[in-house]
Each structure stands twice: as structure tokens, then as C-alpha cells.
Structure 1
């Protein structure tokens, strides 16, 4: 359905879609992202859940987001407040609506999708659109400070914005 698509993103509805994405950390602290592709034609979406700063990595656990590797969460976990917690972000790459796990914000924001790392992107000039856990939508500048972006992505990091 078109509710999963941004009107500004001209990509086709079906293509070689990414349907899984998980972030892990090795014993030596190296962050690894695992992506999968299926040979099925699922509908795509421009919206991806926010998994926090770096997904399910022990060294960044304080910045875990509501969509951290598909672990069950609820709004009561958003101790930073629902208006200060990112829920979904925009991505102009090809993501399936059914299979995409949450994406981390550690790579920042931009206007060009990456085929090698998760990156929230947008065709809107200078901003990426995000929904917060309270249902509001706001644009975040490509030049947002990484520390601020990490704090918005985390649901219970306790940092004042």
C-alpha cells in the first residue's frame, strides 16, 4: 500500500529488496551488520524502525531504540519521553515493509542510500523525516550533531535534549 511509501521517493514498488538487517557486536567490540535478501517480491517501504545508536551492541546498550533487533518493547520503555524518542525514520533505499529490522543511527543521516551500511536517507532537501513515539513527525537536519541523534534514537539513555 502507498501508506508505506514516501511520495518524494521515485523508486519502483518491487525490486531487489533488503528484508533483514541486524547489528551485533563481536567480543572485541567490533560492530557488525548482517543483511539478507530474499528472492521474493515483497512490497517496499521508505520507513524503517529505529534500533538506537548501534542496535543490539553491548557497548551501546544505553542507546537502545524501540526497534532494537526485533526485541519486544512497549511505550513504557521510553523513559526519555515519547516526544524525545525516535520511532521510525525515512529511507530512500529498497527495504521490505515486512522484514526490515530496526536500523541504527550510528552512520548519521544523508541524501544517498548506502548498499553497505544502514543509513537513514531522504530526498527532502537537507532533512530526513522521523516519527517520534508520541506520533509526531519532524524533519532532522543532515547536519544534526551525532550525539543529539544518538540521544533521540535511544529510548532510555537519560540524556537531556
Structure 2
């Protein structure tokens, strides 16, 4: 369950990667109202950095054909779901409830909540940033992703 939930957050908020630039926050497009979020979003790029015990173990940027098909759907009724494309079909694997306030999307699924920072939200573009820190089997993990979606 944790892995499925993490995959959901990873794609959505999940998540999503280091923006390796020196741009300040005032260069970003400010998050609009929650109505801009409603619809179906397709992941188009993901910049990431993963660390184990403070050491970078993987980093880079995936875009285009490097990305597995991934969609997010935000509905007006406050529900959301995500899907991955496998073997000629979309597999819907997670559903939950969403809210949006002050540039933060909050997703609640099975009594667990995750907050996702919105870097850009327009009628056609969504860029989210996620950071996940956890310890498993004595290893401290830090996952950071910056993911861009387009509305379809």
C-alpha cells in the first residue's frame, strides 16, 4: 500500500525534482484558483534527485519517451485519481480526495494526507514539487521531484 500511495504521490506530487537553476520565486507563475486544476493532466517531464543517507544515488530529467504514461484527474466534486499506461491500456491505481489552497494541493487517500507544492498552475500547465523523507531498513532516503503536466 505504501508503494502504491507513494507512486500516486510521486506522479502527482509526488509529486518532483530539483530545479537546478538560480531563479527566484518571483520568476514563477503564481498558482491560480482551484478551478484551473480541474481536468485531466498528462505528465510531460520530471526532474529528480534521490539520496540515501545524504549521498546522491540518482538524479536527472525524464521527458518525452523516457516517461511512462501517467495521468492525473482532478474532478469538481473534490475527488481525484491517477493512472499509468501499461500494455495498451490505462490502469487506474489510486483514488482520493483533493483540496487546493495557497499554492498547496492536499491529497487524502485512506486517511493519509500529502501536501504538494504547486510551482505553476495555469489553464494548460501544472508544475508540482514533492519532497519525501523517510527511513527504511536503517537507510535515510530523501526523494525530490519537480514534475510538469499539461492539460489534455
TM-score interval for Structure 1 and Structure 2 normalised by the shorter chain: under 0.3
Give TM-score scaled by structure 2 length: 0.24
Q: Select the structure with the greater relative contact order (CA < 8 A; seq sep ≥ 6).
A: 2
